[in-house]
Amino acid sequence: MRLELDYQQENNIWVIGHKNPDTDSICAAICYANLKNRLQDGFHYIPKRAGSINEETKYVLQHFGVEPPEYAEDAGAQVKDIAFRRTAGVSGHISLKKAWELMKTENVMTLAVTSASDKLEGLIITGDIAESYMDVYDNHILSRARTQYKNIVETLNGTLLAGNEHAYFLRGKVVVATGSRDVIEECIESDDLVIVGDRDETHICALEENASCMVVTGGTQVSAQVLEMANRRDCVVIITPYDTFTAARLINQSMPIKYFMKKENFVTFDIDDYVDEVREVMSKKRHRDFPVLDDQRRYLGMVSRRNLLNMHKKKLILVDHNEKSQAIDGIEGAEILEIIDHHRLGSLETMSPVFFRNQPLGCTSTIVYQMYCESGIEIEEKIAGLLLSAILSDTLMFRSPTCTKADHEAARALAAIAKVDIVDLADRMFRAGCDFASKTVDEIFYQDFKTFHAGDTAFGVAQISAVSREELSGIKEKIHDYMNQVMSDKKVDMVFVMLTDILNESTELLCCGKDAVELATSAYHLSADDYSLMLPGVVSRKKQLIPSLITAMQQEDQ
């Protein structure tokens, strides 16, 4: 058995966008991870996503032949992020003595008993071994435990002279043969294991009484006559250098640990379990060590309360957001290394200084493009396609007021590298994104949804874009009906939905929540039609909607 510490690969760094990711969030994560890996600074950058991929983004990834990032539900520390102890499992057939020696050598209190395929079968602790030694008064226990003769040989430091060491002691009791022949004959029954000294007549008596095993103490040699007789009667003969008292004292330690191990109702943790949950469970249990299993329920090692002190936080680079409400769950338990974004400053706090690049551009991927250029790293065709798609998506093909000259220039350069036509790519992307017929209302609503805070007010804003007003009109009613559920699920005070007509550069704003309609009409000085109002020229949530709503909220509070 070997002990080792299993540390999380500390050079793994996630690059991840916000929840309900849009095309920019996904593409920026992929492309920035690619840039960082090519800079070869000794770390391994892994793109991740904090939510489902929408249809527009799916089209982009498929078109350029790029695999989507793996989904990450929570950035909190998991068991795999702990320096837990990797202890190899042991066979249930090993003796109590061998288990005790392993515990002393490895300085552990618990051993996991596993099958040949590493499935956990039980646990044996020092208390179990002590109990087997101190509280057992049954002289049949060796046979009840199905003790292998090999274990007896090892425990008594003995030598096998006759019989099969791989056979098992299955019936009978343990007898110490002392006294006269009459006394010995009266004590021994068929199939017993007999501990004897150096007298031939005692050996012969035990064999005549059909003993299944004879342990000869004191290192005494057995005569050829006795060995011949033992072989005829299929009796196992073992000689040990120990005296009779010591042999009788040690022989119970030859029993297999599977007879004493705990087989059920023990607490285990999965490698992907979160530390907060693990800590809570541990606080209610008196155990010292807990088995760790992989996703196939195979044993990996042991974790203890002390191991929780050696926890490695996940390292993250955030792209396309800097608000805690939009970040992956468990962000407070992670270490943020960088933030690359183009939105207003949000609510995230870090424990130490980070690299923070925030520029007033139409798209995070424009910033990533600039960083490729600044680093002198050549942009691959696929990466160019992803960056271009993100820019077209976030700027609504340059129609959004957030779009800048830098976004235009980046898009033209990237289109040349990717060998695509900007108008054609944008048209295909937008049409893929507004194919609402095959989607549920939940999928449509959350394809681009973010939450915001202004003072004590929490509100959510979804943006659903299409290339024509007809497509948006077809989903308007079911989206509005769904908004109350969103308010409850997300625990926000108001919900707004931007139904954005890309080609006509206008938005119909749906409002839900107490005073939501009044807030929107106050922000834009327009009248509402029941629960919605038309906003000509408004296509940007970041630049044209959020600032107006927050300003109106602040004016109401004055």
Model confidence band, residue 46 (pLDDT cutoffs 50, 70, 90): very high
Q: How many CB atoms lie within 10 A of CB 556?
A: 13
What pLDDT, on the 0 to 100 scale, is given for residue 33?
98
Kindly report the pTM of this predicted structure. 0.66
Asked whether the beta carbons of 460 and 450 are under 8 A apart, the reply is yes
- For the stretch 97-125, pLDDT in tens is 999 999 998 888 899 999 999 999 999 98
Determine the average pLDDT of the residues in 7-17. 79
Asked whether the beta carbons of 248 and 228 are under 8 A apart, the reply is no
Determine the average pLDDT of the residues in 308-333. 88
How does DSSP classify residue 46? E
* Beta strand 44-49 pairing with 70-71: parallel
The more confident residue out of 483 and 8 is 483
Model confidence band, residue 496 (pLDDT cutoffs 50, 70, 90): very high
**Token pair listed for 273:** 């379990």
What pLDDT, on the 0 to 100 scale, is given for residue 77?
82
What is the DSSP code string of 270-306?
A: ETT-BHHHHHHHHHT---SEEEEE-TT-BEEEEEETG
- For the stretch 205-229, pLDDT in tens is 999 999 999 999 998 889 999 999 9
- For the stretch 145-154, pLDDT in tens is 999 999 999 9
Region of 376 please: left (phi>0), alpha (psi -120 to 50) or beta. Answer: left
Asked whether the beta carbons of 539 and 441 are under 8 A apart, the reply is no
What pLDDT, on the 0 to 100 scale, is given for residue 136?
66
Mean pLDDT over the full length of the chain: 91
Q: Cβ contacts of residue 238 below 8 Å, gap of 6+? A: 149, 152, 153, 156, 158, 159, 160, 161, 213, 214, 215, 216
Picking from 425, 429, 404, the residue whose alpha carbon sits closest to that of residue 414 is 425
What is the DSSP code string of 344-360?
A: ---S---SS--EEEE--
The more confident residue out of 344 and 319 is 319
- Residue 167 pLDDT > 80, yes or no? yes
The structural domains of the chain, ordered by start, are 10-76+314-433 (3.90.1640.10), 83-132+261-309 (3.10.580.10), 146-254 (3.40.1390.20), 441-557 (3.10.310.20)
- Residue 17 pLDDT > 50, yes or no? yes
Model confidence band, residue 6 (pLDDT cutoffs 50, 70, 90): very low
Give, for 162, the enclosing helix (H) or strand (E): strand 159-162
The more confident residue out of 20 and 508 is 508
Asked whether the beta carbons of 123 and 260 are under 8 A apart, the reply is no
What pLDDT, on the 0 to 100 scale, is given for residue 8?
43
Asked whether the beta carbons of 318 and 32 are under 8 A apart, the reply is no
What pLDDT, on the 0 to 100 scale, is given for residue 186?
85
> What CA–CA distance (Å, rounded) separates 313 from 100?
36
Angle (CA) 14 15 20, round 5°:
110
- For the stretch 373-404, pLDDT in tens is 999 999 999 999 999 999 999 999 999 999 99
Distant-in-sequence contacts of 405-414, Cβ < 8 A, 24+ apart: 406/361, 406/366, 406/370, 407/361, 407/362, 407/363, 407/366, 410/365, 410/366, 410/369, 410/370, 413/369, 414/369, 414/379, 414/384, 414/385, 414/387, 414/388
Give the CA radius of gyration of the chain: 37
Determine the average pLDDT of the residues in 229-240. 94
- The distance from CA 43 to its chain's CA centroid, rounded to whole angstroms, is 20
- Tracing tokens 């095959």 back to the chain, one arrives at 438
